[in-house]
Amino acid sequence: MDGIKIGYARVSTTGQDLTAQRSALTALGVEDDRVYVDHGLTGTNRARPGLREALAACRAGDTLVVTKLDRLARSLPDARDIVDELTTRGVKLALGGSVHDPTDPVGRLLFNVLAMVAEFESDLIKMRTREGLAVARAAGKLRGRKPKLTARQEEHLVGLYRAGDSSTADLAELFGVGRSTVYRAIDRAGELVVAPPPIGEDAE
């Protein structure tokens, strides 16, 4: 008897939406009540309750399904650890529509390449964040009321948000502005999918 499919989805910021990943998992044969999710947690953070629940729900013969490897892990060592755990327990891993076979040399090679790409993308995001910090520092900070963003800073902020591993709180601290300014910038770019904090919370 074939096992069941367990789905896992993750977004790095609380402002991102899981609809696309949920729809993709449904299309891959995962039932809605068997999808486990994490909001606002990066792939480099292994301490994710949704991932822990998804792994715990898997039994021998089951398949853990994710839309892309970077949703599961953002580092090569972590990706390998997760796969080794699944393999030991007799659980298969499906990346999109492809089932990963750790016993196949070519399959293991392809998996390692994908994991290296995910780690590389994570490093690029960190580099862009550092560059954003340099831009924010170069702009200086005014006393009293926090400064608004320049057009260049706003474009850079939205780019970091789209990249997926920077929360609105992180971006506010990075650019030295209030979270309401961050929400307005994201909203103007058409990226806002959650309501901003109530008036008076994180106000400038």
pLDDT (tens digit, 0 to 9) for every residue of the chain, 204 residues total? 578 999 999 887 666 778 889 999 999 999 999 999 988 766 566 678 999 999 999 999 999 999 988 888 877 778 888 888 888 888 888 988 888 776 666 666 666 676 676 666 666 666 766 766 666 666 655 444 455 788 888 888 888 887 766 677 778 877 778 888 888 888 888 755 544 444 444 444
Q: Hey, which residues are catalytic here?
A: 12
Quote the radius of gyration of the chain (alpha carbons, Å): 19
Distance CA 157, CA 170 (A): 10
Distance CA 182, CA 129 (A): 15
Range of the domain at 169: 140-188
Residues 40 and 107 in one domain: yes
Query: Is residue 194 included in any domain, yes or no?
Result: no
Q: What is the DSSP letter of 33?
A: G
Q: Tell me, what CATH number does 26's domain have? A: 3.40.50.1390
pTM value is 0.57
Query: Is residue 157 included in any domain, yes or no?
Result: yes
| Whole-number pLDDT of residue 68 | 86
Per DSSP bridges, beta strands 35-39 and 5-11 are parallel
Distance CA 31, CA 33 (A): 6
| Number of domains the chain contains | 2
Query: Is residue 202 included in any domain, yes or no?
Result: no
Mean pLDDT score across all residues of the chain:
77
Residues 106 and 146 in one domain: no
Query: Is residue 135 included in any domain, yes or no?
Result: no
In angstroms, the Cα distances linking 162 to 16, 136, 151, 154, 156 are 9, 18, 17, 12, 10
Residues 65 and 159 in one domain: no
